[in-house]
Amino acid sequence: MPSRLVRTSALTAAAVCCTLLAVPAASAALSSPEHSRPTGGGAAGDGDGVRIHDIQGHTRLSPYKGRKVTGVAGVVTGVRGSGSARGFWIQDPHPDDDPATSEGIYVYTGKQTPDVKVGDSVHVDGDVAEFYPGGEKAGGQSVTQLTGAHWTVRAGGRSLPAAERLDAKRIPDTYAPKGDKDSRSIEKLRLHPDKYALDLYESLEGMRTEVSDARVTGPTSEYGELWVTADPREHPTPRGGTLYGSYHQQNGARLKVSSLLPADKAPFPKADVGDKLTGTTEGPLDYDNFGGYTVRATELGKLKSGGLPAEKTPKAPKDQLSIATYNVENLSPKSDAGKFDRLAGALVKNLSSPDIVAVEEVQDNNGPTDDGTVKADQTLDKLTGAIKKAGGPAYRWREIDPQDKKDGGQPGGNIRVAFLYNPDRVSFADRKGGDATTPVRVEKGSGGTPELSANPGRIDPTNKAWQESRKPLAGEFRFKGKHVFVVANHFSSKGGGDADGDEPMEGRFQPPARHSEPQRIEQAKLVNSFAKDVRSVDPKAAVVAAGDLNDFPFSPTLDALRSGGALTSPMQQLPADERYSYVFNGNSQALDHALTTPGTGHVDYDIVHLNAEFHDQTSDHDPTVIRIRPKD
């Protein structure tokens, strides 16, 4: 399941929840607050009200929160004139001498299109509020803004304040301060923009910022946004991305870019990882709940293609068994026909027609329609038919229908894992399959070899570890006279925005809590136990546990899978900077895995990069292929 939350709009995704904001009650106007500091240049225009840097203060929360201010002077630097969260940014061209205080602020006008232009000098009256994009419970940071605003345009055509340059020299290596001992919140801590990347960005909230010749690390999404890095030397991948290699490698030079420019005059670039926005990209720095700090571009650099190719994996030699795992992202007969064709083409051409494919996110026959349907035979028939049409083998498939609404995923979709296999290369042990609730057992066969009580069968499907999550499917295959056990997995999502989801990396709680992790650890323990059960019958048995595990190679989840040496990670054969299968918020990271027992013998491991780095993707995951030569 994608880690990204469901979204509602392109440009204004970060602020659509503004309509839920409770506007604070107005109080007496403030013109001479106690914390007022020297302005270093006088007020902008003729305003005699409180200054923007006074409102912003030197922490993440405004000292004016919930109070009315008048005569706030600034120059308009950006306008959001569409959607349900309209407004404009203003910036004081006469900053104070405190680097912790921002000179910019957002004026929220709701559904009202503001009658201002970039370069207007304005005075604004309004209520100071802290808005949490996505809701306060989501764990993100707040945006200080003016609501219930009234403004006066004093003059037009003013020069804009110079944009703050963001580059490797400016952005601190350390990502975030440690939160308050009791609350873990960083909201009330004084900002140290010279020490922490998140503090630097907060100190520039609402101000004009710029990046130059920025390399793309996250492709253009359907919502009209992309990710760049302001430091191309920060943990680069060979293909132009930025690697997320540990919980302490957050990569603070990542920034999201969206556009305030009219689409008919400046279409948003369709970029892939490794491309570059040449020249200058600049605009007010905002914060949203889908990735944090975002440059709302009033000027976009010119896209220069990096020519990134989709990868292909070699065809397995005849004496090697090839096994792939592929998250096909909510596939159903309602999916666009082109998606089936592209998935099929990738399986045949890019993956070289694996002998066995563990497929994740297979939906039922009517997709997200929520009417109790759980069968997925039409989905799988359509996929295998498309593969054959593309020149691939006549795959057969096996799966177990879930109980309705019990496995999580898109509502109504009843996603599940399934097997595709090439009967010309492997055979599926002829044994009755299991059902949604009966656990599969590992038994000792007549020849002393391990056998499954049901083929395929689900691993402990009623265990609470699988609540609202996909149950793993165990299958018993034979390849050149040898037993091979494959477990297709799709562990519970990292989620977000609620008590069960992980707190955002860029949020106000530091270090962020991984609330979803304990469930995946318990899931990993069950799969680990299954592998041990097989090996208790035959220590040389070949077991492959593959799928979208929704966790990282360095995570406690993967540690639990590998516990006791029951399974190992052949991903570790790859160079460290190539260990990724997913791109999230500009970070290249590994969520998809294929683990093996020592009995699998020789293993070749390949992550086939053909989706995650591209704006035109069939799935948000890259598939993985392993080639094994089981021991005698």
Mean pLDDT of 585-595: 98
Name the token pair of 391. 């020149």
Residue 267: what are its φ and ψ, rounded to 5°? -55, 140
- CB neighbour list of residue 161: distance below 8 Å, 6 or more residues apart: 75, 77, 91, 92, 93, 95, 103, 207, 208
Name the token pair of 31. 């013109």
- Point out which residues pair with 582 in neighbouring strands: 589, 621
Residue 161: what are its φ and ψ, rounded to 5°? -60, 145
Burial class (CB in 10 A: 0-12, 13-18, 19+), 84: middle
Position 465 confidence tier, pLDDT thresholds 50, 70, 90: very high
Residue 248 in any domain: the answer is: no
Q: Is 486 helix (H, G, I), strand (E, B) or coil?
A: strand
Name the token pair of 299. 């000027």
pLDDT for res 575:
97
CATH number of the structural domain spanning residue 38 = 2.40.50.140
Q: Which of 477, 456, 479 is nearest to 316 (CA)?
A: 479
- Point out which residues pair with 129 in neighbouring strands: 145
- Point out which residues pair with 123 in neighbouring strands: 73, 152
Summarised one tens digit per residue, pLDDT across range 548-565 is: 999 999 999 999 999 999
Residue 435 in any domain: the answer is: yes
pLDDT over 70 (residue 121) = yes
- Residues in the chain, overall count: 632
pLDDT over 80 (residue 606) = yes
pLDDT over 90 (residue 126) = yes
Whole-angstrom distance, CA of residue 579 vs CA of residue 81: 42
Question: What amino acid occupies position 65?
Answer: K
pLDDT for res 357:
98
Residue 557 in any domain: the answer is: yes
Whole-angstrom distance, CA of residue 300 vs CA of residue 164: 15
Of 265 and 597, more confident: 597
Name the token pair of 527. 């799969």
pLDDT for res 48:
53
Summarised one tens digit per residue, pLDDT across range 343-387 is: 999 999 999 999 999 999 999 999 999 999 999 999 999 999 999
Position 265 confidence tier, pLDDT thresholds 50, 70, 90: confident
pLDDT over 70 (residue 420) = yes
CATH number of the structural domain spanning residue 601 = 3.60.10.10
pLDDT over 60 (residue 577) = yes
pLDDT over 80 (residue 511) = yes
Which of 94, 126, 155 corresponds to the end of one domain?
155
pLDDT for res 421:
98
Of 28 and 540, more confident: 540
Q: Quick check: 519 and 499 in contact, CB under 8 A? A: no
- Point out which residues pair with 593 in neighbouring strands: 547
Mean pLDDT of 75-85: 91
State the DSSP string of 150-186.
EEEEEES-PPPPPPEE-STTTS-SS--PPPPTTT-B-
Q: Whole-angstrom distance between the N-terminal and C-terminal Cα of the chain? A: 37
State the DSSP string of 109-151.
EETSPP---TT-EEEEEEEEEEE-TT-GGG----EEEEEEEEE
Summarised one tens digit per residue, pLDDT across range 302-350 is: 999 999 999 999 999 999 999 999 999 999 999 999 999 999 999 999 9
**What is this structure's pTM?**
0.92
pLDDT over 50 (residue 447) = yes
pLDDT for res 49:
78
Q: Which range has the worst mean pLDDT, 96-110, 235-249, 487-501?
A: 487-501
Whole-angstrom distance, CA of residue 603 vs CA of residue 626: 7
Mean pLDDT of 466-476: 97
Beta-strand runs (E) in 406-529: 416-421, 427-428, 442-444, 450-452, 457-458, 473-479, 482-490
Summarised one tens digit per residue, pLDDT across range 270-303 is: 999 999 999 999 999 999 999 999 999 999 999 9
pLDDT for res 601:
83
Mean pLDDT of 22-36: 32
Position 237 confidence tier, pLDDT thresholds 50, 70, 90: very high
Helix (H) or strand (E) holding 302: strand 302-304
Which of 103, 136, 155 corresponds to the end of one domain?
155
pLDDT for res 24:
35
Residue 222: how many other CB atoms lie within 10 Å: 9
Whole-angstrom distance, CA of residue 398 vs CA of residue 282: 52
Whole-angstrom distance, CA of residue 45 vs CA of residue 29: 19
pLDDT over 80 (residue 586) = yes
Residue 269 in any domain: the answer is: no
Domain count, the chain: 2
pLDDT for res 15:
36
Mean pLDDT of 208-226: 97
Mean pLDDT of 607-616: 98
pLDDT for res 630:
87
Q: Quick check: 70 and 31 in contact, CB under 8 A? A: yes
Name the token pair of 284. 């007010």
Residue 359 in any domain: the answer is: yes
Q: Quick check: 519 and 569 in contact, CB under 8 A? A: no
Which residue range is the domain that position 20 belongs to?
13-155
Residue 196 in any domain: the answer is: no
Mean pLDDT of 121-147: 96
Question: What amino acid occupies position 440?
Answer: V
What mean pLDDT, rounded, does the chain reach? 92
pLDDT for res 499:
56
Position 450 confidence tier, pLDDT thresholds 50, 70, 90: very high
Pairing of strands 450-452, 442-444: antiparallel
pLDDT for res 29:
34
Proportion of the chain above pLDDT 90, given as a percent:
88
Residue 203 in any domain: the answer is: no
Which of 135, 155, 175 corresponds to the end of one domain?
155
